[in-house]
Amino acid sequence: MRVYGIFICFSPSADLKSEGLGRHLAEFLKAAQEIHDIKFCIAAPSWLRKQLEILFQDYNISKESFEIIVPKYTPLSLKVYNLIIAFYYFNFASFRRNILGAYLKKCKKLFKGGHGDCAENKLRKFAFISITLLLLPVLIPIIILSIILVLIYRLFNKVGALLCQIGGVFCQVLKWFQIDIKNNVITNYLRTREFLNFRKPKYVSNLMRWCYLIIQSKEESRMVSLIEKNKQVLAWYCPTLFWPGINKISAPKLVTAPDVVLNEFSIDFAFILGDIGKQYSNFINTIMGNKYFITYSQNVKYQTLVKEYGVDPDNVFVIHHGASKLNQLISVEQDSTKNKEVLEKSILKQLFKESLKQTQGHSYAEKIYSDSDLKYIFYASQARPHKNILSLLKAYGYLLRKMYIKQKLILTCSKYEIREIENFVQAHNLDNDVLFFNGLTSQQLAACFKLSDLAVNPSLSEGGFPFTFTEALSVGTPIVMARISVTEEIITDDKVREAMLFDPYDWHDMADKILQGLNYPEKLLELQLPLYNKLAKRDWRCVVRDTVNALDKIIEAESNVQK
């Protein structure tokens, strides 16, 4: 039996089930366990041991089918880091309000005679006071320590802000005196400001990120030393570019390069993410430190790896995604009930009601829409700059106000992640017609696709052919999509292209195609089904087989080089 390795290094806070890459890994492993002439060995950091077990359970993956290489102990540095993070995210206001508030309320109730002065009440009072007194020796140091920590934390912030201000004033003074401010003074000042920015709302501060990357790097080294001892693994596979630890493995290795949107949409990402520092260097180092790659499309192979990074095209294997089908999540078995359609409809309605609960920034959506048969256009995507949500909103606004379509627009991204999205919705008074169902489960997602009139995907760039195509078609919903390299790579029929692809940079074109799709959904579906049926045949076992073939090729190529 040939043994191959999978190198993973998710962060400690990652929830594998909710991460796209985690789900991808699960599907891959699930398919891999069904192929009996090969075996996979998974190398992971110590903190992922538990997460992997949960993932295996959730996806019905047999633990015995895989060998797992994990460093024995969780590093002390990570424990300290976790403590800091826990403290960082600790909500003092909520603690004060909920725990202390509940305690004081209880005291008030007991001693203000809420329960009368019976023997039972006396006993209660006695027990309450005794427990409070007993806990005091423990509670007092905790409270004092907490206060000290809070003070340090606030002081740290204040000092940081003060340093920034001093730095700013200093630079200003130098400017007034027309002194040539050396570059390093400016950068240090900026660095100080960035470094001490503990109150960044969405992202852990740079300092914490930097700490984590050090821990990650150390853990990767521990993993690599275990990997190097394991001689039975013929080659290693890494499903992303963000884990440069793979570079240190001496056996042949194959790395997946999903996409390089950070480079393609650098301005957008710089505005939204700011400088993600070493994380980006990791990404580049992984490309530069490896020879063999997998991409999900010819486009990423040629445009990114070959043209941008000078990778040999013979060393890049294009392995398309397996079809992502959602129908099995919502379809009712034929023999389970006589009235299949009614039951299916009721399940879908229930799932949609649950989805409505997830609506962001629209407190009454659940109440007013749960019983109505809403008609809507659906776009399942995260909020990322290249997802082109603003153009979709423009097109939708036009269709609603100028073409009088009745459908709402439902998005699965967060309303608040990109400020421009929230601003646009508010400025154009679309709050009631654009709903944000953030954090849907797979089943809810399937229901939303099924109930929508039309799915849309206006993304400007994707690493592979978007999953949304098979997801929508699997539940019988037609879809219109952006005309980008990865869609044209798969959709080659001119008729189908003409019917469903639009220029993502031209919202008028997008609106036209959406309108056409809404007016003639059956026609669109009819055109799309042959392609769907073809793509649906490609399951995850095909992906595993292709990956194993690629691994075998690199093993052969490397052994030839050594000879």
Partner 1 sequence: MSKNIRVMWLLNQQYLSISEIDMLKSVGVEEIYIPKSHYCDNRELSVVVDVGSDYELSIPKDEIEILNRQNWFENPSKDAWNIANKYFEIIFIGFLPKQINSTSINFDGQIVLRVFGLEGDDSYSNSLRQILKPGELVNLFKVKNRLWFGTGYKCLKYREEDFLKDRDCYLPVVKSLTDNFDSWTGNNNKIYFDCPRILISKFHNHQYENFKRDFKDFEYTIGGDQPIKVVDEAVIGSSSRDDYKHDLRDHKLMFYYDSEPDIFDCKLFEAIEIGLPLIFMANGVLDRLGGRVLPGRCKSIREARRKIQKIVSGDKKFIRLIRSTQKILLQSVSKESSLAEWKSSFNKIIDKVLLQRKVQNLLPLEYKIKRKKIAVLLPIEYRGGSLRAAKMVAEAIYRGSALDNQKVEVVFGYLKGDYSDLDFSDLSKQIKRREFTWKIVTKGIAETIFKYKNFPKLKTKQEYYVPDDGISYFSDCDLLVIISDRLLKPLLPTIPYVNVVYDYLQRYEDFLQARLNEIFLHVVHNAKKVIVTTKFTKGDAINFAGLSEDSIELCPHLVPDYTNWNNSKTDDALTYFIWTTNLAPHKNSLEALRIYYDKLGGKLKCITTGLNTDRMFEENLEHLKLLKKIVTSSKKLKSNFKLLGNLAEEGFQSLLSNSAFLWHSARNDNGTYSVLEAASYGVPSLSAKYPAMIEINECFNLNMMFMDPWDPEDMALKLKQMELEIDSRRNLVPSFANISNYRKQAAIKYWDVIKGCL
Which stretches of the chain bind partner 1, using CB under 8 A?
183, 186, 190, 194, 262-271, 274-275, 280, 284, 298-299, 302-303, 306-310, 312-314, 385-386, 388, 390-391, 394, 420, 424, 460, 485, 503-506, 508
Q: Which two tokens stand for residue 108?
A: 């008030």
Q: How far apart are CA 123 and CA 130, in angstroms?
A: 10
Contact indicator for 240, 100 with CB cutoff of 8 Å: no
Q: How far apart are CA 539 and CA 324, in angstroms?
A: 8
CB neighbour list of residue 556: distance below 8 Å, 6 or more residues apart: none
How far apart are CB 146 and partner 1 at their closest, in Å? Answer: 35
How far apart are CB 313 and partner 1 at their closest, in Å? Answer: 5
What letter represents residue 45's amino acid?
A: P
What letter represents residue 489's amino acid?
A: E
DSSP class of residue 437?
B
CB neighbour list of residue 104: distance below 8 Å, 6 or more residues apart: none
Nearer to partner 1, 45 or 385 (CB): 385
Nearer to partner 1, 473 or 482 (CB): 482
Nearer to partner 1, 180 or 333 (CB): 180
How far apart are CB 33 and partner 1 at their closest, in Å? Answer: 35
Nearer to partner 1, 308 or 417 (CB): 308
Q: How far apart are CA 320 and CA 258, in angstroms?
A: 11
Contact indicator for 477, 466 with CB cutoff of 8 Å: no
Q: How far apart are CA 423 and CA 91, in angstroms?
A: 28
Nearer to partner 1, 258 or 478 (CB): 258
How far apart are CB 507 and partner 1 at their closest, in Å? Answer: 9
How far apart are CB 464 and partner 1 at their closest, in Å? Answer: 16
C-alpha radius of gyration, the chain, whole number: 28
Adjacent-strand bridge partners of 437: 359
Nearer to partner 1, 399 or 447 (CB): 399
How far apart are CB 386 and partner 1 at their closest, in Å? Answer: 7
Kindly list the distances between the CA atom of residue 241 and the CA atoms of 233, 320, 460, in Å, as whole numbers in the listed order: 21, 17, 21
Nearer to partner 1, 26 or 262 (CB): 262
Q: Which residues of 414-428 are buried (b: 16+ CB within 10 A; e: fewer)?
A: bbebbebbbebbeeb
Nearer to partner 1, 315 or 474 (CB): 315
How far apart are CB 35 and partner 1 at their closest, in Å? Answer: 30
Q: How far apart are CA 165 and CA 184, in angstroms?
A: 17
How far apart are CB 312 and partner 1 at their closest, in Å? Answer: 6
Contact indicator for 160, 196 with CB cutoff of 8 Å: yes
Nearer to partner 1, 5 or 258 (CB): 258
Pairing of strands 408-411, 376-379: parallel
What letter represents residue 333's amino acid?
A: E
How far apart are CB 201 and partner 1 at their closest, in Å? Answer: 17
